[in-house]
Amino acid sequence: MKNISVIGAGTMGNGIAHVFAQNGYPVNLIDISSASLEKGMATIGKNLDRMIAKEKITTVDKTNILANITTYTTIAEGVKNTDLVIEAATENSALKLKIFQELDKVCNANTILATNTSSISITQIASVTKRQDKVIGMHFMNPVPIMQLVEIIRGYNTSDDVTGQIIDLSKKLGKTPTEVNDYPGFVANRILMPMINEAIETLYNGVAGVEEIDTVMKLGMAHPMGPLQLADFIGLDVCLSILNVMHDGFKNPKYAPCPLLVNMVMAKKLGVKSGEGFYDYSNSRKAEKVAQRFLK
């Protein structure tokens, strides 16, 4: 596998493009929004600067890595002659089905189509293509350049050969691939999201404030980041979509999203990417006051 296309230049897409480009792969980064492409490329630049400051790469490396990435605003242009597409667009099943239908039409017959979805059925996404054996989940973790894990999700019809190729490729990126089966939320989010949702519910019920909840989990459970801050980093819209997929998929009320989460997403308080979530990222003001606006 040589040429890689990444769809979506948001939180995950720019990180995925960064890691492939850093490992010498030519990457086509595609987003319908040119503002997202600009922001994504700026984020990659900033992350590379951080690596220069830590003496992990040189300024020449930075130039070469950025030169490996070409940006596009249409899928058809950005997937020409590509060996692997990794879709990292917004977590919305209708959108992903539409993208995969288009990919199946415009990509070469042997191109592997991977999705970075956090929760949506790989089997369902594959079902809209005529290459179900070549559709697979390649679920990177946030922030992609730092996190070791890639959750590899086989759809019902994903072939052994394609699974093997994606596992090998993940290892070439210095990551640790871990294979799981295709059920809502897979493994990572099936365990993580109920914890985040419970943390939000704990805040919503007035048991403790934002900082207190995060402090308990950081210092008491040795988590590097509290669940509310982690939710801000993931994106509250992404958390809500994942919970909805698990709630619909399992028909189990334990996955029902907390009303405070629903309210914050409707109010466009999406976390780091919108500048405000449980914490305020425009200055150092603590978020407790912010989130209280939405408490009952």
Q: Which stretch binds ligand NAD (CB under 6 A): 82-90, 174-182, 257-265, 281-289?
A: 82-90
Q: Is 198 known to be catalytic? A: no
User: Are the CB atoms for 6 and 40 separated by under 8 Å?
Assistant: no
Position 43 contacts ligand NAD (CB under 6 A): no
Amino acid found at 69: I
Position 175 contacts ligand NAD (CB under 6 A): no
3-class DSSP state of 261? helix
The answer to whether the bond into 145 is cis (omega within 30° of 0) is no
The closest alpha carbon to 264, from 228, 225, 286, 237, belongs to 237
Q: Which stretch binds ligand NAD (CB under 6 A): 2-10, 19-27, 49-57, 260-268?
A: 2-10
The closest alpha carbon to 104, from 127, 120, 72, 121, belongs to 127
Least spacing, CB of residue 64 vs ligand NAD, in Å: 25
Q: Which residue from 137, 185, 227, 235 is in contact with ligand NAD, where contact means CB under 6 A? A: 235
Least spacing, CB of residue 42 vs ligand NAD, in Å: 13
> Cα–Cα distance between 12 and 31 in angstroms, integer?
12
Nearest residue to ligand NAD, by Cβ distance, number only = 10
Between 118 and 137, how does the x/- string for binding to ligand NAD read (CB under 6 A)?
A: x-------------------
Residues belonging to the chain? 296
Q: Is 110 known to be catalytic? A: no
3-class DSSP state of 285? coil
- Choice between 209 and 269, CB closer to ligand NAD: 269
- Choice between 11 and 170, CB closer to ligand NAD: 11
- Choice between 28 and 118, CB closer to ligand NAD: 118
Torsion, Cα 100 161 68 144, to 10 degrees, reads 80
Helix, strand, coil percentages, rounded to 5, for the chain: 50, 15, 35
3-class DSSP state of 215? helix
Position 116 contacts ligand NAD (CB under 6 A): yes
Q: Which residues are catalytic?
A: 118, 139, 151, 189
Contact residues toward ligand NAD (CB under 6 A) are 7-13, 30-33, 36, 88-91, 95, 99, 116-118, 139, 142, 234-235, 238, 273
